[in-house]
A and B are shown apart, each in its own frame.
Chain A
Amino acid sequence: MEGKYVGQAVTRIDARSKVTGQALYPGDFVMEGMLYMKLLFAGRPHARVLRVDTEKAESLPGVVAVFTSRDVPFNEYGLQYPDQPVLVGPPGDPEAARQLVGGGIGRDEVRFVGDQIAAVVAESEEIAAQAVDLIAVEYEDLPVLSDPRDSLKPDAPQLHPKYPGVSYHPELVFEGNIASRHRIRRGDVDAAFAQAAVVVESEYEIPGQEHIFLQPEAGVGYVDDEGRVTVITSGQWAHEDRHQVAHALGLEEEQVRIIYPAIGGAFGGKEDLSVHIVLALAAWKLHRPVKLVWSRTESIIGHHKRHHVFARARWAAAADGTLLAAENYVIADAGGYVYTTNKVMGNLLLTCNGPYKIPNVKTDVLGVYTNNIPGGAFRGFGAPQGNFIAEAQMNKLAEALGMDPVELRLLNVVQGDDPMPWGKPLPDDARGLVDTLIAAAKAVGWQQTEQGWQAPACAPRPGDPPTLKRGVGLALGVKNVGFSFGYQENAWAAIELRGGREIEAAVVYAASSDVGQGTRTVIRQMAAEALNLPLELVTLEPTDTGITESSGSCSASRMTFMIGNAIKGAAEAALQKWADEDRPARAEYTYLAPKTTPIDRETGYGDPNFSYGYVTVATQIAVDTLTGQLYFPKMACANDVGQAINPRLLTGQIEGGVIQGLGWATTEHFIEKDGYPLTKTLSTYLVPTIVDIPDELEAIVIENPEPHGPWGARGMGEMPLIPVAAAVQAALHHAVGLWYDAFPFTTERVLRGLKLKE
């Protein structure tokens, strides 16, 4: 569809302000009388804090206050479960501590290097930094668990007390070091393996990933003129941030206000709190503005990573390629705290068997505590890891069967009413699976022949040395859009129409976090379309809990879908009021997405999601077999987006997502040793540069309308990243005949594989 605004490459609202440097990011705010904060990070992976001596720091001239665990009214937080102390150390009020989850036991325990001990507030950043060095902490070091497989051993130390859990997160089991547990049981895999023509068995190691958003965590806390403690910061869900801040400070939510200005990227890395609570605490206690900006290294140490995953997979097919069984056993490194591990694992569970008809499925997914940096949300949210398992298995099965990988997928992919492993079909017709598969495959040279689809031969090109090997590979992906497993998805928006006879202005209220993806631009487009007004008349109020209700999280590829529906509802209601001669005509609307259900704890059965995105990535590769260096002449990503609201922003998401996936697959190697991260800077943690990305990246936009999506749009922000690693693995195999089951595919790893083969 091409509307007046929907479907148009409208220029971003913030293009000019960002390009000219006018846009204010959280670290750019300066307020009168502002103080500066610096945190004391534990810097060790596992230890008990026996004593924190702040006397010297407090007596340094210019220091205004030093906060420790004793000062945090309710010393716990967590997006899914409050298992992390705000500041680690002995409690101030033992009575209050007993009300914390787990009875407040272990709040004096450091569980990863990024745990924080104290927050110094001073007249300048330099003084605050000096004072941090003057704090003396007495630690008792404890044994470190740095591999989740070790955490599962019977004699492993238990890193957390036995928490009671909550009814709405049944997967949070807290059994020993197992934080979360998911499973699917369908049919009888063992019987199927016994009669299968082909069985493929593998062990995979899927790496973590650091977000490297451009703007490290930062914010300013102050008390506003209505007496609310306010934090201007970056995040992905302002109202959830407010909830957690209020909880830790023991305040009512109405007493806390969160404002998001321009945000320099998030990718899931800002779903969990960082500077929020300590800033609010200091501002609340001191009644002065306080600013905190993390350095890049503090950011890398201080926020979670994509989960590092170890998996065993055994899949079986009949001689004609029909899938018979899939068995996956997955252990994920949750690190020191839960963060969003339980939900990430839920998505891993749903994606690790692919979008295929498999009559017999047995899947176990464990999220396991260690003393590493926590695992958490990162674009794809478990789907990239799940996808790697499923698609690597499919590509290997294709090889074992002598079938083309496209043909094998076409034979097995779900269509119409075919149930997914959780017993329910995909909620729409899921045509995007086949459509994206064919489109991406064709883009890198697949051809339809009398024998079916065939991969290109990848002969050497003129000038290629004999040691350069070429190949192609692809992977198909699926992921849910929106929050799942019985959570009633919702998003709020309001529109106020001003004017007399004619509408002169439309003011839109929505609490959507513009993390760089352009959500505010798209909201304005959708509002103009829904109101049938010129774009120039539509303005958007800031994301501020003081003036908006919750529109939900900017994650799970959900915002355009959810807020678009809310905008449509609000626009319709506001126009009605306008017709009824309300001046101004203001209407609010909360969109409720179709209901979902939890999945059964034993079988995994249920109806966990209301919408899905479909994507295929196909790539060409050239491998220098003497050095292990990889080149990508062309990559293609076909994405069923339902309806492109803004094609230019959408292409940007596809290109960025693919490149982020390529970084994960190739150069981004997050290394932790004994609980200490070794890649704490941008010179050791290597994101792709302009010369590392594919020479050509084709973004193929497919538009099969999503039945519930606004104007048919479906979520897409995460999709392009998801199949990249598996596509690269397949292309590598096509080029050199080796399956690399651990990545990133660094030059050194690639060469080591080739040497072993010799």
Chain B
Amino acid sequence: MHPFDYYKPKDFDEAFAMLTQPGKKVIPLAGSTDIIPMVRDERWLPDAVVDIKGLPGLRDIKLVDSGPLCCAGQTAQCLYIGAAARMNEIAHSELVQQYASVLAQAAQEVGHEQVRNRATLGGNMGTASPAGDTLSALLVLEADVLVKGKDEERCIPALKFFLGPRKTALQPGEIILGVQVPPLPEGTLGRYLRISRRKGADLAIVGLSVMAIPAEGGYQWRIGLGAVAPTPIRVPEAETILATGHDEATVEKAIQATLAAARPIDDIRATAAYRREMVVQLTRRALQDIIAQIP
């Protein structure tokens, strides 16, 4: 195993000083559930890690007012989830269940109990694996990602955050502070479904986030997919189809549109063919689940 240094900064200033040491590959560390296996297998070779999970505010889950960067222009409060919030904290949080149910469900699917006690939302986003469970949920929630560098903070829409496998819009030296979920109208419904080869502690073969948001007497739909493309994706084609109604024929059309958007590959976990079939099954199941809840 490649040796590396471990830093635990007191505050942000110290953190950024450590993160920006010239000539060194330094990465933030949160729950380390990705870092440890990756470094052990010599796929990541950092010179140093900076443990950011103790920094102020990074573990908060709370409602916040609209800000100058993220959540701008919102009249109601946004849900703020700190980057170092653990999956179990997110899954069990009443706030998250109420304001971002699809994300609570996705967090509950990550790994197993022990992993969820350590794994963080920021780490899931930082790794940016196409199979990361929370990522498609962030896309359908149209969350904002609040990031901070040595000199400034920025807000990046989740829809523009994931650029490729293990590639994000973060600049060197920047960390994720948290995400902000814009307020959603009462009656919003969300469903996260996934399938894996083994039921416990296995990465998703397909992950699927669906939301139905009450709008003008009907519903606006959002569909996000994981593990079937280089990044998590939204499926606007299917969303447009569902905006016209959710009778059986329309649902089938939306499923076909979702399937058309998926570009899965063969790998050791599943063939592309099986992934495509699972896109169909999960989409139908999630849509039916949600439709059954529509009053």
A interface, CB within 8 angstroms of B: 126, 129, 295, 297, 626-627, 629, 667, 671, 678-679, 681, 683-684, 686, 688-692, 746-748, 751-752, 755
Contact = CB atoms under 8 A, between A and B. Distances in A.
A684 B268 CA distance: 7
Given A671-B268, A679-B268, A748-B271, A626 B198 contact: no
Contact of A746 (B197, B200, B203): B197
Contact of A689 (B195, B200, B277): B200
B199 interface: yes
A292 to B, nearest CB: 16
Contacts of B269: 684
Nearest to A626: B281
A748 B41 contact: no
Contact of A683 (B3, B37, B200, B278): B37
Nearest to A129: B1
9 contacts: A626-B281, A626-B285, A627-B278, A629-B199, A667-B198, A688-B198, A689-B200, A689-B201, A748-B197
B268 A686 contact: no
Nearest to A690: B200
A667 B268 contact: no
A333 to B, nearest CB: 20
B202 interface: yes
A751 B273 CA distance: 11
A131 to B, nearest CB: 15
Given A626-B281, A627-B281, A748-B271, A686 B202 contact: yes
Q: Is the interface of B mostly helix, strand, loop or mixed?
A: loop
A751 B277 contact: yes
B62 interface: no
A627 B195 contact: yes
B166 to A, nearest CB: 16
Contact of B199 (A679, A689, A752): A689
Nearest to A684: B268
A678 B198 contact: no
Contact of A686 (B198, B277, B278): B198
Contacts of B1: 129
B277 A629 contact: no
Nearest to B195: A627
A297 B42 CA distance: 12
Contacts, number: 53
B160 interface: no
Given A627-B278, A686-B197, A752-B274, 4 more contacts: A686-B198, A748-B270, A751-B274, A755-B277
Interface string B34-48: 000100110000000
A51 to B, nearest CB: 26
Contact of A678 (B37, B199, B268): B268
Contacts of A689: 112, 198-201
B230 to A, nearest CB: 20
A748 to B, nearest CB: 5
A679 B199 CA distance: 18
Interface residues of B, number: 23
A402 to B, nearest CB: 34
A126 B3 contact: yes
A660 B3 CA distance: 36
Contacts of A671: 268
B64 to A, nearest CB: 36
Interface string B12-52: 00000000000000000000000001001100000000000
Contacts of A752: 274
Contacts of A667: 197-198
A747 B273 CA distance: 13
A688 B200 CA distance: 8
Given A629-B195, A748-B274, A692 B3 contact: no
Contact of A692 (B41, B195, B200, B271): B200
B41 A681 contact: yes
B101 to A, nearest CB: 22
A50 B269 CA distance: 37
Contacts of B200: 688-692
A683 B198 contact: no
A39 B3 CA distance: 19
Nearest to A295: B40
Given A126-B3, A627-B281, A679-B268, A747 B195 contact: yes
A430 to B, nearest CB: 38
Contacts of A692: 198-200
Nearest 4 CB-CB pairs, A to B?
A689-B200, A691-B200, A686-B198, A748-B274
Contacts of B285: 626
Nearest to A467: B281
A751 B278 CA distance: 10
Contacts of B271: 748
Nearest to A688: B198
Contacts of A629: 195, 199
B281 A747 contact: no
A28 B277 CA distance: 48
A755 B3 CA distance: 49
Contacts of A678: 268
A681 B201 CA distance: 13
B56 to A, nearest CB: 34
A126, A627, A688, A690 pick with most chain B CB within 10 angstroms: A627
Contacts of B195: 627, 629, 747
B193 to A, nearest CB: 10
Interface in B242-295: 268-271, 274, 277-278, 281, 285
A667, A689, A748 pick with most chain B CB within 10 angstroms: A748
A430 B195 CA distance: 45
Nearest to A297: B41
A675 B37 CA distance: 25
Contacts of A129: 1
Interface in B154-190: none
Contacts of A691: 112, 199-200
B41, B203, B271 pick with most chain A CB within 10 angstroms: B41
B1, B199, B201, B269 pick with most chain A CB within 10 angstroms: B199
A128 B197 CA distance: 37
B115 to A, nearest CB: 11
Contacts of B270: 748
A689 B197 CA distance: 12
A56 B185 CA distance: 68
Contacts of A746: 197
A497 B201 CA distance: 52
A751 B3 CA distance: 44
Nearest to A755: B277
A222 to B, nearest CB: 26
A683 B112 CA distance: 13
A600 B285 CA distance: 60
B227 to A, nearest CB: 14
Contacts of A295: 40
A751 B198 CA distance: 15
A295 B1 CA distance: 11
A747 B1 CA distance: 35
A689 B199 CA distance: 8
A234 B202 CA distance: 30
A368 to B, nearest CB: 26
B1, B200, B203, B271 pick with most chain A CB within 10 angstroms: B200
Contacts of B203: 683
A627 B286 CA distance: 14
Nearest to B277: A751
A747 B270 CA distance: 9
A692 B37 CA distance: 23
Nearest to A686: B198
Nearest to B40: A295
A626 to B, nearest CB: 5
B282 to A, nearest CB: 8
Contacts of B112: 689-691
A297 B201 CA distance: 19
A376 B37 CA distance: 29
Nearest to B202: A686
Interface in B191-221: 195, 197-203
